[in-house]
Amino acid sequence: MRSPMTSKPTLADLAAALAAGRASSRSLVESCLERIADPAGEGRTTFLHVDKGAVLAQADAMDLLRSSGAAPSPYAGIPISIKDLFDIAGQVTRAGSTVLTNRPAATQDAASVARLRRAGFVLIGRTNMSEFAFSGLGLNPHYGTPRNPWERAEGHIPGGSSSGAAISVTDGMAHGALGTDTGGSCRIPAAFTGLVGYKPTARRVPRAGAVPLSTSLDSIGPIARSVACCATLDAILANDTPPGPVELSGMRFAVPRTFVLEDMDSDVAAHFERSLSRLSTAGARIERIDVPEFAGIPAINAKGGFSAAESYTWHRGLIESSGSAYDPRVLTRIQRGATQSAADYIELLAARKAFIAAVESRIARFDALLFPTTPVIPPRIAALQGDDEFFRVNGLVLRNPAVINLLDGCAISIPNYEDGEPPTGLMLACAGGLDQQLFRCAAAAEHIVRS
User: Which residues are catalytic, by number?
Assistant: 83, 161, 185
Question: Cβ distance 183 to 134 under 8 Å?
Answer: no
User: Which residues share a beta bridge with 83?
Assistant: 127
Cα distance between residue 255 and residue 162, in whole Å? 27
**Exposed e or buried b per residue across 348-368, where buried means at least 16 C-beta atoms within 10 angstroms of its C-beta:** beebbeebbeebbebbeebbb
- Alpha carbon 151 to chain centroid, angstroms: 21
Cα distance between residue 10 and residue 231, in whole Å? 12
Question: Cβ distance 133 to 115 under 8 Å?
Answer: no
Residue 115's closest CA among 29, 209, 195?
209
Question: Cβ distance 254 to 236 under 8 Å?
Answer: no
| Maximum CA extent, the chain | 61
Q: Which amino acid is at 145?
A: T
Cα distance between residue 231 and residue 442, in whole Å? 10
Cα distance between residue 426 and residue 187, in whole Å? 10
For the chain, report the end-to-end CA distance as a whole number of angstroms.
Answer: 18
